[in-house]
Each structure stands twice: as C-alpha cells, then as structure tokens.
Amino acid sequence: MLLSSIIHHTRGDFVRRLIAIALPITLQSIMFSSRGLVDVLMLGQLGEADIAAVGVASRAMFVTTIMLVGVTTGGALLTAQYWGAGDRQGVRESTALTWLVSTLFALLTIVFFVSFPAQIMGVTTDSQEVISLGVEYIVITSFSMLAVSCVSSMAVGLRAMHKPGLSTFFSGIGILSNVFLNWVLIFGNLGFPALGIKGAAIATVLSGAIEVATLFGYLYFSKHLLAFKFGDIKAAATVEKVVRFLKLSLPTTFNFLAWAGGLFAYHAIMGQSGVQGLAALSVDAC
C-alpha cells in the first residue's frame, strides 16, 4: 500500500513541480553558505593567518545567517497560508512583517559583532595576528547581515508562490559580484589598492548590496505582489501579528542556532591546535 502510494505520487507533474521548486532552493542555500568559502579560497594566496581569520569570522557569521533564515520560517508559513487562500494583501503584509522582524534581528547581530569582535575571535585562537585580522574582517562583514535579512525575507515569499528560481537568480548575481569584487579589492586590480582581508570584507558587503538592489529593483519596477509599501509594514506590525510570527519562527530559530552554534564550538575547540590547524580547518569547514 505504501509503495503503491509513493509510486502514484511520484509520477508526471508532481516530480516536475517538485524539482522546479526544490532545485532552485537547494542552489540558493549553497550560494548562501559559499561566500565564506569564496573569501577563504581567494585569500589563500596571502597567508595562513588570513585564511584562519576569515575562517573563524565566516563561521561566526554563518551562525547569524542561519539564525536569520530561521527567523524567516514564520514568514514562510504565513505567506504560504495566505497564498493558498488567495489572500494577496495577506501575502504582501506577511512579507513586510518577515522583512521587518528579520531586519531587526540583523541589526542586533551587527551591534553584537561590532561590540565584541575581539572576544568572538578570541574564543577560537590566542594568536594576536589572527585575532587582529579577524576583527577587521568581522566588523565590516557584519553589515552584510542586512542583505541576508532582505534577501531571505523575499526568498521565502517567492518560494511560497512557487517561484524560488527568481531569488536564486539574483543570489547568483550576488555570488558573481563577490568573486569579481574580491579579485579587484583583495589583489588590487583595475587600479584599486590591494586591501587583502579588508578588501574581501568590503567585497562581501558590496556584493550583498548589489544582490539586494537588483532583487528589490526587479520586484518594485515590475510591481510584483511582494513589493510591499510602508502601509503594508504598518498594517502588519501589530502586537498580535508579531507575537503570532514569533511563535512560528522562534522554535525553528533556536533549533538552527543550536546546530550552527555546535559547528562554531567544534571550530573553537579544534582551533586550539594553532594557526596552521585553524587555517586547514577553515578551508574544510567552509
């Protein structure tokens, strides 16, 4: 019975629709987590300390990125419900609320990274060179969390509407921009000064801004359903709706945080082996 049911539901249109939705989501998830890898690989020519510093900082940033993705799960559930019910205004308002809440969380993470960068780096290593390089990288890169919140909030809305490929396309633009800007700013090409690890951090922030600008530009110029306005934010930002959103989001957020936090703890423990070990672990972890 079970086997026949599985075969029945894995024929024709179902499989095609599943692949059409799952493949773009998978690709975007890979791109979300690959920015740190891009920086580590492109900084590999500079030295072990740079690799180790970026590896630690990227792992810390990964924790907050996963947290923001968890926060948006509440929006994903609400948007899917409204979309299934044919409530277009509800879709727009839930997207606006997702953006608002995730952006507030992103601002909190920025404050945390800017306030305690040395302490975060110091958890994994006692090398002052690695800590110094990592502090410079993590303070600048922390501002990319705003881009993560913006892209994630729109991505869950597009997924609920069965159009995940759109946000994946613009994430691809963000990754390509990151690679190009790294090439320019890390190594000093096209007349720019060679900034090393600082250049990688700036490239991460700028590529995130490019991704947000192109995605939001497309949505607003095409007058897409998800192109919310201030009135939608105001209508969605009620105590009742925010509490409902958080009840849906927080369990997943804590679950994601526990997993990502465990990975960072592993990085911190293994990082005590020294700069060389930390550099090797950074490449492997990213």
pLDDT tens digits, residue range 30-85? 666 666 677 777 877 777 888 888 888 888 998 999 899 889 988 888 999 999 99
At 102-135, the pLDDT tens digits run 999 999 999 999 999 999 999 888 889 989 999 9
Q: Could you tell me the two tokens for 113?
A: 């990274």
- The single-letter DSSP state of residue 47 is -
| Predicted pLDDT of residue 42 | 82
| Predicted pLDDT of residue 243 | 93
Q: What's the one-letter identity of residue 75? A: G
Q: What's the one-letter identity of residue 223? A: K
| Predicted pLDDT of residue 181 | 96
Q: Could you tell me the two tokens for 211?
A: 């991704």
Distance (Å, whole) CA 155 – CA 164: 7
Q: What is the number of alpha carbons within 13 Å of residue 198 lying toward its C-beta?
A: 7
Q: Torsion angle, CA of 252/171/54/51, rounded to 10 degrees?
A: 130
Q: Could you tell me the two tokens for 86?
A: 């044919």
Q: Considering the entire predicted model, what is its pTM?
A: 0.87
| Nearest in space to 109 (alpha carbons), one of 76, 152, 139 | 139
Domain residue ranges in the chain: 38-279
Contact (Cβ atoms closer than 8 angstroms) between residue 170 and residue 215: yes
| Predicted pLDDT of residue 34 | 66
What count of other Cβ atoms lies within 10 Å of the Cβ of residue 184? 19
| Predicted pLDDT of residue 126 | 85
At 195-225, the pLDDT tens digits run 999 999 999 999 999 999 999 999 999 999 9
CA distances from 27 to 182, 185, 260 (A): 21, 26, 20
Q: What string of DSSP letters covers 78-139?
A: HHHHHHHHT-HHHHHHHHHHHHHHHHHHHHHHHHHHHHSHHHHHHTT---HHHHHHHHHHHH
206: which residues sit within 8 A by CB, 6+ positions away? 177, 181
Residue 265 has pLDDT above 90, yes or no: no
Q: How many residues does the chain have?
A: 286
CA angle 10, 12, 18 (to 5 degrees): 60
Contact (Cβ atoms closer than 8 angstroms) between residue 100 and residue 233: yes
**Three-state SS sequence of 214-249:** HHHHHHHHCCCCCCCCHHHHHHHCCHHHHHHHHHHH
